[in-house]
Amino acid sequence: MSEAKPEEEKEGVVDGCFLTWVAITEKYRKKEDKIP
């Protein structure tokens, strides 16, 4: 196994959280669009 740099690991976690946040935001946007 190659040593993973802590900085790279943090970036991976941040990317995962960001993608999850974007998915949640998109869901709320679609719900809001349906609300008159």
- How buried is residue 31: exposed, middle or buried, by Cβ count under 10 Å (0-12/13-18/19+)? exposed
The DSSP line for 1-36 is -PPPPHHHHHHHHHHHHHHHHHHHHHHHHHHHHH--
Q: What is the pTM of this model?
A: 0.47
For residues 23 and 29, give the distance between their C-alpha atoms in angstroms, rounded to a whole number.
10
pLDDT at site 20: 94
pLDDT at site 6: 66
Q: Could you read off the pLDDT of 1-36 as tens digits, one per residue?
A: 566 666 777 778 888 889 999 999 998 887 777 766
